[in-house]
Amino acid sequence: MEKDIGMALDQVIPGHGSIPLSPYYFWPRKDAWEELKVLLESKPWISHMHRIHLLNQATDIINLWQTSGGNLT
């Protein structure tokens, strides 16, 4: 786990908290970005623009993790 980063999505429901929307995807062990993309495409209530926004955020996190040498502490 020291050489991987885990990403997961929760759905926030105002006034009720959050619920898990996805399992954890571990990068670079697997292509977490692609797995997240497939999951988002399977959720018809998530708009195309929101999917793009979420995938861009995942890209930003992966890039930050890479540039930090895997040390985000």
User: Which pLDDT tens digits describe the chain residue by residue (73 residues)?
Assistant: 567 888 899 989 999 999 998 998 888 878 888 999 999 999 999 999 999 999 999 999 889 888 887 776 6
Answer yes or no: is 21 within a domain.
yes
pLDDT tens, position by position, 31-51 = 888 999 999 999 999 999 999
Say if residues 5 and 26 touch (Cβ distance below 8 Å): yes
- CATH of residue 53: 3.30.390.140
Answer yes or no: is 63 within a domain.
yes
Answer yes or no: is 43 within a domain.
yes
As a whole number of angstroms, the distance between CA 62 and CA 58 comes to 6
Domain that holds residue 54: 5-67
Answer yes or no: is 23 within a domain.
yes
Burial class (CB in 10 A: 0-12, 13-18, 19+), 25: buried
Domain count of the chain? Answer: 1
